[in-house]
Structure 1
């Protein structure tokens, strides 16, 4: 029996948390080859070793990638083009929640990682996405970026601060909208998805004792986006049980 060609996937920030779990659940299916994107080669190497030790039927390899560094973005394009010639799914998952420095530096870091990075990376990889017969872009966001939730005086997000993170995720919403309009003509599906409060290294608050869901549980919901089960709502700011106001 002829082997089935695997779909090629790149996940940024895949060395831990939600990104790692997305890789794990895709590899369990056996029909994906996953590029484990990681800014830290050391952490990425450990993550890849962990995934490979589980003997999943899918395949994976490390892709050193810092979404704020154009050199690593171009290198990522070259690697994927040389080895596979296309990209089927791009998951823009890498993010920073609590940047350090002055207020200006915090904003610059957050926007560079959470909004500018996904735009530049996706635009660079567009030629590879266009070579797929069913390309998909998934931008992992957060409900804290919803302007509607911020302006709702009855909701939990009304007085929450964390401006750098919130504003950069709002910017990611516009990035997604622009991708939807500009890349939709090529048949590329674009989604904005909030995985919800999940155990991860995003901040010290993302812990189970604080009510965070496990990454495994969170990603099971996100897989509905991967599988196209939520394409009818692709113009929305999706989350695990519904959608947020923009």
Structure 2
């Protein structure tokens, strides 16, 4: 029996990250490292997932990781090295909107989480990713981005996001897209790399991310992300994807 693919999900205790963990456990072919800044919230999320997925309850574990803290990231990588010796998929999902902060503080904090965090996580975990023995599909990095980070869409008067506020969120997701491009140049094509927008999803990202505002469930958004994990869109590696197509950078 083939060993399960090891998937690291940062920001896995809620929203898209939690929904993705649940979807992967349903399939029974993945071992999920549920990354959470808060150990308490991470443990509660793991308990919830284990209760929902009894046949695969041992296929998820909590990994304490604060993407703004290099020591926390290094410690997490050491834990994975010690317990698993490799990682097959990295999902950089942790993110913030920082909507209620003064602009300069919001920019700093959002860049730290949304752009510097994924860059630091991949740098620390790259040696483990390179130890992956997966070939079909091969190992991969998926940076969870947003269509709001597309500079082309920002400048397009016909785009539904034209004139959208939120400098700190839009600019940091644009920065994450550049991080993704750099990851592709550095690690591809052996390691597949994607920026992926899961769509408007119910989450604690902001007070607007609610069902009554049209947000999809985390599980629904996660389904499209699973397709990328399973290699169904590998011909689009190195690109900025969404559920049904691509966005311009």
Q: TM-score range by the shorter chain?
A: over 0.9
Contact (CA 8 Å) 1:99, 1:109: kept in 2 or not?
A: no
Q: How many angstroms does 1:124 deviate by? A: 0.7
1:151-179 C-alpha deviation (Å, 9 max, x unpaired): 00122211001000000000000000000
Q: Does 1:30 align with 2:28?
A: yes
Contact (CA 8 Å) 2:115, 2:179: kept in 1 or not?
A: yes
Map 1:61-140 to 2 at 5 A.
61-133=61-133, 134-140=138-144
After superposition, the CA RMSD in angstroms is 1.1
State the SS of the aligned residue for 2:82: helix
Residue 43 of structure 1 corresponds to which residue in structure 2? 41
Cα distance in structure 1, aligned partners of 2:221 and 2:28:
20
Residue 238 of structure 1 corresponds to which residue in structure 2? 241
Residue 182 of structure 1 corresponds to which residue in structure 2? 186
Contact (CA 8 Å) 2:10, 2:93: kept in 1 or not?
A: yes
Residue 17 of structure 2 corresponds to which residue in structure 1? 19
Q: How many angstroms does 1:57 deviate by? A: 2.2
Q: How many angstroms does 1:235 deviate by? A: 2.8
Q: Does 1:224 align with 2:197?
A: no
1:165 to 153, 162, 169: 169
Q: How many angstroms does 1:98 deviate by? A: 2.4
Contact (CA 8 Å) 2:198, 2:225: kept in 1 or not?
A: yes
Contact (CA 8 Å) 2:86, 2:132: kept in 1 or not?
A: yes
State the SS of the aligned residue for 2:56: coil
Residue 207 of structure 1 corresponds to which residue in structure 2? 210
Cα distance in structure 2, aligned partners of 1:5 and 1:236:
29
1:50-89 C-alpha deviation (Å, 9 max, x unpaired): 0111214261111011100011101111100000100000
Alignment: residue pair count: 243
Cα distance in structure 1, aligned partners of 2:64 and 2:31:
16
1:162-205 C-alpha deviation (Å, 9 max, x unpaired): 000000000000000000000115x1110110001011111110
Higher relative contact order (CA 8 A, sep 6+): 2
1:20-40 C-alpha deviation (Å, 9 max, x unpaired): 011111111111111110011
Contact (CA 8 Å) 1:27, 1:56: kept in 2 or not?
A: no
User: Structure 2 length normalisation: TM-score?
Assistant: 0.95
Residue 154 of structure 1 corresponds to which residue in structure 2? 158
Can you give the 5+ residue segments of structure 1 that lack an aligned partner in the other structure? none
Distance 1:27 1:120, change over 3 A: same
Q: How many angstroms does 1:129 deviate by? A: 0.3
